[in-house]
């Protein structure tokens, strides 16, 4: 899942396979952070690029790029912003929209989110002042002919009327924009454009309409369409990304495996007992990638973490977990768990691994190495179900999206052995049923977080 910005690797593929210079006029649908728009102009300076989107964030940045302004008023939960930015011009209000969009990550009612939200509110003007130079640098890079605030379907109509081509990166799930920008959408007044709610199931019909109208096109999606062959395919850390275009050149890329095989023994779940000794050992990234390729779903291109740990019970492998410093939260207080896995579905070992990952004995060495004090572990479960059976009861559900769940856990003030004893008492049982979540596939990067980084973070 991805929304908000085209992956950089995909941009490179598209620029090498789609003849935008032959189009002349490139009409972009869903410009987001303008990454694609900027890349086309840099590669083909002679092209005329016309940007488009409907979010307040992108529309306001587009207005700045075109030397325009419109009224933005903050209200409701964001009414405090008006006092914080009193006296600032339109550019300051756009920077405030950037900060408010970032605040949208912390609207849950749990203490973790509320603390972050309060910090943003108390330091809002500081964040705005920090955002201003970033905004100025971005606007300076946007070299477009015009910006259209409206439905990208209408942008295609504009391309047809003016003899241009259509490059589009539509939301990958229904109500995608509405979920990401809910805080800003519900607490601002501005001349918002009208648009239809995009249904990704409409993608084949949209492409067919472009062909029937003889509009050169480049459509980027996470869908592998049954009746079409993509002209580019990229397999990265998340779901594959495909491009469908009106030209015939093709590009297929995949990250090369980065793993080292090694011998290891696997735990027999039936042999786990109260006297069992549990230890955690750090391994290098290549060996961890090998284990993930064995125990996680095939086809996932795994990300190498900063801290790669395996869990051993009586000296043999039970599972592992991978940490990296968060890209989106407070780096001094939280770690992001890229993935965790167990070697067996029996006796709910898959619950034991994240429980151990969040215990103080595991986290303290990381605190010393990074000179921080981690208070939370954050992770993502990609599922359409209302809860993750693996994390239920051991982590707290922080955020629910259409295709994934965001979980967090406070650091457990327990030793590794104490956590094991708790797991054995609560979840393991003797001859217990397999954990239904088991070794379910779980992509390693949170799609929604990426969207917030690439758009709200600009």
The pLDDT value recorded for residue 245 is 92
Considering the domain architecture, whether residues 236 and 287 belong to the same structural domain is answered as no
In a domain, 212, yes or no: yes
**Rounded distance, CA 39 to CA 291, Å?**
37
In a domain, 314, yes or no: yes
| Burial of 116 (C-beta count, 10 Å sphere; 0-12/13-18/19+) | buried
State the alpha helices, DSSP H only, in 34-88.
35-43, 56-65, 80-84
Single residue among 198, 228, 254 that ends a domain in this structure = 254
In a domain, 177, yes or no: yes
Name every residue whose Cβ is closer than 8 Å to that of residue 63 and which is 6 or more positions away in sequence. Answer: 69, 70, 90, 94, 147
The H helix count followed by the E strand count for the chain is: 17, 17
The pLDDT value recorded for residue 296 is 78
- In the numeric block, the tokens 């992770």 are attached to 379
Considering the domain architecture, whether residues 196 and 90 belong to the same structural domain is answered as yes
In a domain, 458, yes or no: no
C-beta of residue 313 within 8 angstroms of C-beta of residue 333: no
Torsion of CA 377, 381, 385, 391, to 10 degrees: -40
The pLDDT value recorded for residue 444 is 34
Considering the domain architecture, whether residues 37 and 153 belong to the same structural domain is answered as yes
The pLDDT value recorded for residue 435 is 43
Where in the sequence is the domain holding 402, given as residue range(s)? 269-444
This prediction has a pTM of 0.60
Pairing, β 334-342 against β 404-410? unpaired
Using 70 as the pLDDT threshold, list the residues of the chain that sit under it. Answer: 1-5, 174-180, 236-238, 248-257, 297-303, 327-329, 430-458
C-beta of residue 239 within 8 angstroms of C-beta of residue 221: no
Considering the domain architecture, whether residues 220 and 350 belong to the same structural domain is answered as no
Considering the domain architecture, whether residues 281 and 336 belong to the same structural domain is answered as yes
**Rounded distance, CA 243 to CA 10, Å?**
8
The pLDDT value recorded for residue 430 is 46
């Amino acid at each position: 899942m991805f929304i908000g910005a085209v992956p950089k690797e995909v941009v490179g593929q598209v620029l090498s396979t789609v003849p935008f210079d032959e189009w002349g006029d490139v009409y972009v649908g869903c410009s987001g952070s303008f990454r694609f728009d900027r890349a086309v102009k840099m590669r083909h300076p002679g092209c005329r690029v016309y940007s488009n989107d409907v979010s307040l964030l992108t529309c306001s940045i587009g207005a700045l790029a075109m030397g325009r302004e419109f009224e933005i008023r903050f209200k409701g939960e964001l009414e405090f912003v008006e006092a914080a930015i009193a006296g600032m011009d339109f550019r300051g209000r756009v920077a405030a929209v950037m900060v408010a969009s970032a605040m949208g990550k912390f609207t849950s009612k749990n203490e973790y989110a509320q603390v972050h939200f309060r910090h943003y509110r108390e330091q809002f003007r500081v964040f705005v002042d920090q955002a201003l130079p970033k905004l100025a640098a971005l606007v300076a890079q946007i070299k477009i002919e015009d910006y259209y605030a409206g439905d990208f379907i209408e942008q295609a109509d504009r391309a047809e009327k003016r003899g241009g081509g259509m490059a589009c990166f539509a939301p990958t799930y229904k109500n995608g924009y509405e979920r990401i920008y809910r805080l800003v959408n519900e607490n601002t007044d501005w001349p918002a454009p009208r648009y239809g709610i995009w249904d990704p199931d409409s993608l084949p019909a949209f492409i067919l309409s472009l062909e029937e109208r003889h509009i050169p096109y480049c459509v980027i999606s996470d869908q592998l369409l049954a009746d079409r062959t993509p002209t580019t395919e990229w397999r990265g850390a998340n779901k594959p990304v495909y491009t469908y275009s009106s030209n015939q050149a093709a590009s297929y890329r995949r990250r090369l495996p980065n793993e080292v095989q090694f011998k290891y023994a696997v735990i027999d779940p039936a042999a786990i007992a109260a006297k069992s000794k549990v230890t955690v050992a750090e391994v290098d990234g290549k060996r961890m990638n090998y284990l993930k390729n064995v125990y996680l779903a095939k086809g996932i291109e795994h990300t190498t973490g900063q801290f790669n740990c395996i869990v051993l019970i009586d000296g043999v492998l039970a599972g592992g977990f991978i940490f990296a410093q968060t890209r989106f939260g407070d780096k001094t207080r939280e770690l992001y768990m890229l993935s965790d896995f167990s070697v067996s579905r029996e006796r709910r070992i898959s619950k034991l691994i994240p429980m151990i990952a969040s215990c103080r004995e595991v986290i303290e060495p990381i605190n010393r190495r990074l000179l921080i004090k981690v208070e939370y572990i954050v992770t993502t479960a990609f599922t359409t179900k209302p809860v993750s059976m693996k994390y239920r009861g051991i982590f707290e559900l922080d955020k629910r999206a259409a295709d994934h769940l965001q979980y967090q856990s406070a650091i457990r003030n327990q030793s590794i052995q104490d956590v094991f004893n708790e797991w054995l008492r609560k979840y393991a049982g003797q001859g217990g049923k397999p954990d239904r979540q088991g070794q379910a596939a779980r992509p390693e990067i949170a799609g929604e977080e990426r969207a917030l980084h690439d758009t709200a973070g600009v």
